[in-house]
Amino acid sequence: MQSRFSFLRRWEGLLLILLVFVVVYNALSTPGYLTTANWINLFQLSIEKIIVALIMTFIIINAEIDLSVASVMGLSACTMGFLYMGGMPMEWAALMGLLAGVAAGLFNSFWIGVVGLPSLVVTLSGLIGYRGLAYLLVEDRSIGNFPAWFNRLGQQPLIGPFPLAMIVFFVLLVFAIIILQYSGFGRYVYVIGNSKDVARYAGVRVQRTKMILFVASSTVAALAGLLYAARLGAVRGDIATGFELDIITMVLLGGVSIFGGSGSLWGVLLSVLIILNLRNGMGLANLSGHVQTGVIGVLLILSVLAPNLASSVRASWNRHRARTLEAGKTG
C-alpha cells in the first residue's frame, strides 16, 4: 500500500492530481472546454512566459536566478520597433532585436561567470538597466503598423491549428527536456545546483556552464519578446513588465527548489498546465483576477512547504505513537 501511493509524497504527484481535478471540474462545468481551440487559446494567452519558464528552469536548478528576462523581452521588442521605425526591413529589425538579447546575455554572463558576482544582483541591475534602454529607444510612443506577415505570425495559425509561438514552445520543450534530463550538460546543471564546489573538485567547468545558461536565458527571452510584439501588433516601453515574477512562479510551483539541484521540466510543465486551467476555471466561475492570483500564491507557498510538511507530519505522528505506546505500558 505504502509504495503504491508513494508518488504522492512527491510534489509532482500532487500536481498531477490537482491538474486532473481542475480539468475534470472545468470539463463538467463548461461545454466546449475540452476542444483544441480552447486549449490553444489558453496557452496562447501566456505563451511567451511559458517559453521563458523553460530556460528559467535550467537557471534555478543551477541555483541561480535571472530577474532580467522580462526586461530583455522589452529590450528586444523595442530594439526591433525602433529600427523598423527608422526604416530597417522587418526581418532585419527582428534579427537585431534578437541580437540585443544575446548581447544582454553576454553582459550578464560576464559579471556572473568571469567577475563572479551573484546572479541576483547582476540580473536585478539588468532588470532595471535593460528596461531603461527599452524606454530610451521608444520613449513613450507605441510603435505599431508592422508588416502584415509579421502580425499574422503572431496571431494566426501557422501549421494546422498552431500559431508560431506554440510551435516554438513545443520545439523548445522537446530540446529542453532532452538537454536537461538526458544530456551530460543537464547533469552538470544539476550537480552545480547541488554543490558547485563538488562540481569544481570534479573538474567540471562551473563558470562556463553558468555563462552558457545566462546567454541562453536572454536569447530565449529576446525571442519571446519578439513573439509577444507580434501577438500584440505593437511595442511600448513597458512591454512585458513584471513577467519575470510569473515566470519564476511557474518554475517554483513545478517543484523546482529555489536552492537549486532538484526539480524537473515535467514538474514545470504540470505547473504551467495547472496555472492556465486554474485561472481559466476560476475565470469561468466568475472569480476576479485578484482572487485567482491569491490562489496561485497559496499554491506556491504549499509547493515550498510540501517536502518539509510531509516529513514533519510523519515525525509528529511517530512521536504521538511513541507516547501512546509508552502510556499504554506504564498505565
Partner 1 sequence: MQHVSKRFDATQALEDVSLTLYPGEVHALIGENGAGKSTLIKIMTGVHQPDSGTILLEGAPVHIRNSQEAQTLGIAAIYQEPMVFPDLNVAENIFISHRNRGAVVNWGRLHRDAEAVLRQLDVHLDVRMPARGLTLAAQQAVEIAKAISLNVRVLIMDEPTASLSAHEVDQLFRIIESLRNQGVAILFIGHRMEEVFRIADRITVLRDGKLISSRTRVEIADLPAQREQVIREMVGREVGDFFAKTEAPRGNLLMSVRDLGKTGVFSGVNFDIYEGEVLGFAGLIGARRTDVGLALFGIEPADSGAILFDGKPVEIKTPRHAMQLGIAYVTEDRRGLGLTLPMSIATNITLPTLRRYLNALGLIRRGAEDRTAEEYRKRLMIRTPSVHLEVGKLSGGNQQKVMLSKWLNARPRLLILDEPTRGIDVRAKAEVHHIISDLAAQGLGIILISSDLPEVLAMSDRVLVMREGRQMGVFTRNEATQETVMTAAMGQHEPTITDTEAARL
**Residues that bind partner 1 in the complex, under the rule CB under 8 A:** 178, 182-185, 187-188, 190-191, 194-195, 197-205, 261-262, 319, 322-323, 325-326, 329
Write down the least CB distance from residue 27 to partner 1, Å: 37
The answer to whether the CB of 46 falls within 8 A of the CB of 296 is: no
Write down the least CB distance from residue 76 to partner 1, Å: 28
Write down the least CB distance from residue 180 to partner 1, Å: 11
| Closer of 37 and 208 to partner 1 (Cβ) | 208
Write down the least CB distance from residue 254 to partner 1, Å: 18
| Closer of 33 and 190 to partner 1 (Cβ) | 190
Closest by CA position to 264, among listed 253, 274, 255, 277: 255
CA distance linking residue 251 with residue 231, whole number of Å: 24
CA distance linking residue 296 with residue 308, whole number of Å: 20
- For the CA atoms of 135, 136, 137, 143, the dihedral, rounded to the nearest 10 degrees, stands at 40
Write down the least CB distance from residue 137 to partner 1, Å: 38
Write down the least CB distance from residue 263 to partner 1, Å: 12
| Closer of 136 and 178 to partner 1 (Cβ) | 178
| Closer of 148 and 327 to partner 1 (Cβ) | 327
| Closer of 199 and 220 to partner 1 (Cβ) | 199
Report the 10 Å Cβ neighbour count for 58. 28
Closest by CA position to 127, among listed 258, 252, 245: 245
* Site of grid cell 573538474: 203
| Closer of 171 and 178 to partner 1 (Cβ) | 178
Write down the least CB distance from residue 194 to partner 1, Å: 4
Write down the least CB distance from residue 195 to partner 1, Å: 6
Residue 207 to residues 51, 125, 189, 235: CA-CA distances in angstroms? 25, 20, 11, 35
Q: Which residues contact 73 (CB under 8 A, 6 or more apart)?
A: 48, 52, 221, 222, 224, 225, 228, 239, 240, 243
The answer to whether the CB of 40 falls within 8 A of the CB of 216 is: no
| Closer of 23 and 204 to partner 1 (Cβ) | 204
| Closer of 284 and 313 to partner 1 (Cβ) | 313
CA distance linking residue 241 with residue 261, whole number of Å: 29
H/E element, 159: strand 157-159
